[in-house]
Structure 1
């Protein structure tokens, strides 16, 4: 049983999303800024061991929602906004002891955004952003050790997100009937950073249910006290002229199975919720943001050979809700409710590759 638990933790080494999650659409400013954890980084390590992972994510957002109501006419009449987002996180974790670990996450992005309304409202054009995003560092601590942890364990962690990504990235827009090229800041959804320093609180765990079945869970909340970052949105309403620096959150849970007959093969099925709140816990909530959340079912498959683990999981959106923002509420009147929309994706492709490095360095495929 002890071997199954250890194997399952390592097979799950790239399933966790706290360091890699990206909400599936315009609600996300960028990939979520949580930190990697054992379920996400293989931090069930012996003292002095390392874990290095790379995580690639992709999605296309194009379905518009106002609240939980979809607006299919946007696609039918060709006015939908389309975001293509690619992300790569390089994560390095280290076990200071059996229970204490640290992690550094270095994220990169490439984004494209296609729309009519940001240009001359007649012809579709594309804006771009690419480069280094907001890096994260942190540490976590397992609550149990020794015999108490033989059926499973839970860890809690703290981290910081630094404003290392460009939060005022620009691209070429085409304005007016003559489509005059104009350099402007890109939409908030494809900015590389948010311009704030965030405090991250996360948790994670894995417990044996029966035989080769395990219950997993993890999540995070990022507190972003800074209210706005000074970046213009190019929007017409005065209270939406500058970008907000919002909090972010995510959580997931599900069941993982390790297969006995094919050593190293595992599969998982769970649910996850992720989003941006209407108001921050600390600091002000003014400025432009697209709050909302996504609930997804999350199937996954993984294979571990030696110290290398590969994982593919594809969260599929079940419920999407673009909630009413602070500025929407401010701009509403008794006769007219203002409620902005946002584009969401149908699914997210998430592929990870992790290498656990024991104290004695050996070939990763031994």
Structure 2
């Protein structure tokens, strides 16, 4: 029973706890939204120190460097060769607190803190802009659809949450002009702390154990942002052109985002090894509301190896999604500009090769 319960807990908790924390990857601004789920390893597991229910604290640290430019699936190798590529460095710390009420219900709250920088070329030299602060806070209610006391091999968890516009979405820093002067303006959308919208998030987590040590997992997450645009201008050192205004790319969009993960997990003593695939996507069109404004839609298909070491009520983990396919899709303003000018328009985006996620989870 101990082996079964430890494996079940490890597979579900530590492969799902990065379900929405580890969004990729550069100019495609798929932001961290936190989130954690827990599978009760035993019907009476909600009893901790003689008290009903328990808490889980998870700290996830994410880092990536995006520098490879893509238009569609085609990498723009000349940008790197000419050293005029944009380089984003993003560090996000997610602090997630989950209250497990019983063997089916739980509620989690996530507080992200971000430290971002963006290096780009102006004139003959490079300069950097930065952002630092709290991101968009989210709260999620989670429920296991099947009774864990009976569904001992597999289960499905559904969650519904709210993402609040607590992160600053018009953060400003100084930009360098071609003449060498400095202008204070909003930083690029890719390193803004928030998106400016209150969103509704749907989460589905599932797992199935074939044996005491081997099982499968899957996650689906969709964040719907009904707000159309947030009012933050995209122009920095020069005024927006008439064309940008006409196609609405002069102001930032408030986009949806989604994540799909699936894979297999193998428990060996106190270690858990997992290998899966993931699709991080910022869609062209929102599910609810308008899709106006500037956004860099696209998706990243990645292989995701992971390792977890658990002891007592503590677990340490590391996950490193490695990009296989990167696609910067054509945005709504791109489509409108193509129709308006008669010339095909398709913006680019910078992507990372991989994302590093390390963290600790503590049950108390």
TM-score (norm 1): 0.91
* Residue 15 of structure 1 pairs with residue 22 of structure 2: no
1:26 maps to: 27
Counterpart of 2:171 (choices 149, 153, 169) is: 169
SS, match of residue 22 in structure 1: coil
Contact 2:34 2:94 (C-alpha < 8 Å) held by counterparts: no
- Residue aligning to 1:54: 59
Find the aligned partners of 1:156 and 1:24 in 2 and give their Cα distance.
26
The reply to whether residue 249 of structure 1 matches residue 255 of structure 2 is no
Structure 2 vs 1, CA of residues 5 and 254 (structure 1 numbering), >3 Å: closer, same or farther? Answer: farther
Rounded to whole Å, the distance in 2 between the matches of 1:2 and 1:50 is 21
Structure 2 unaligned residues grouped into runs of 5+:
47-51
Displacement of 1:35 after TM fit?
Answer: 2.9
Aligned partners of 2:211, 2:311: CA distance in 1, in Å? 24
Query: What TM-score, normalized to structure 2?
Result: 0.91
Does 1:74 find its partner at 2:79?
Answer: yes
The separation in 2 between residues aligned to 1:331 and 1:35, in whole angstroms, is 38
Specify the alignment match of 1:151 in structure 2: 153
* Range 231-240 or range 306-315, more displaced: 231-240
Q: Does the CA-based 8 Å contact 1:13-1:354 persist in structure 2?
A: no
Q: Residue deviations 1:210-249, cap 9 Å, x none?
A: 3411101112000000000011111542121110000010
Spell out, residue by residue over 1:147-175, the C-alpha distance to the aligned partner (whole angstroms, 9 max, x if none): 43111211000000000000000011011
Tell me what 2:49 maps to. none
Does residue 110 (structure 1) correspond to residue 115 (structure 2)? The answer is yes
Give the alignment's Cα RMSD to 1 decimal. Answer: 1.9
What is the CA-CA distance between 1:144 and the residue it aligns to? 1.2
SS in structure 1 of the partner of residue 277 of structure 2 = strand
Q: Which residue of structure 2 lines up, in the alignment, with residue 201 of structure 1?
A: 202
Out of 280, 283, 287, the residue aligned to residue 289 of structure 2 is 283
Q: How far off its partner does 1:95 sit?
A: 1.2
Q: 2-side partners of 1:34 and 1:121: how far apart?
A: 39
1:355 aligns with 2:362: yes
Give the superposition deviation at 1:55: 0.3
Shift of 1:10: 3.4
Tell whether the 8 Å contact from 1:12 to 1:42 is kept in structure 2 after alignment: no
Matched residue, 1:92: 97
In structure 2, how many angstroms separate the alpha carbons of the residues matched to 1:185 and 1:123?
20
Whole-angstrom distance in 2 between the partners of 1:147 and 1:97: 12
Deviation at 1:24, TM superposition (A): 1.3
- Cα distance change, pair 313–42 in 1 and its aligned pair in 2 (3 A): farther
CA contact (8 A) 1:55 1:353 kept: yes
Q: CA deviation at 1:28?
A: 1.8
1:309 aligns with 2:315: yes
1:38, CA displacement in angstroms?
2.8
1:131 maps to 133
Determine the structure 2 residue equivalent to 1:295.
Answer: 301
Query: How far does the alpha carbon of each residue in 1:183-203 deviate from its partner, in whole angstroms, 9 at most, with x for none?
Result: 110000000001100000001
Ranges of 4+ aligned residues in structure 1 off by more than 3 Å: 5-8, 41-45
Partners of 1:20 and 1:43 in 2: CA distance = 26
The CA distance in 2 between the partners of 1:304 and 1:69, in whole Å, is 41
**Aligned length, in residue pairs:** 348
Contact 1:232–1:243 (CA<8 Å) still a contact in 2? Answer: yes
- 8 Å contact from structure 1 (residues 19, 105) kept in 2: no
Q: 1:77-121, CA deviations, whole angstroms, 9 ceiling, x for partnerless residues?
A: 1111000000000000011221010000000000000011xxx34
Q: 1:338 to 1:284 in 2, by over 3 A?
A: same
Unaligned runs of 5+ in 1: 358-366
SS in 2 for 1:148: coil
Mapped to 2, the partners of 1:241 and 1:146 lie a distance apart of: 51
CA drift at 1:265: 0.8
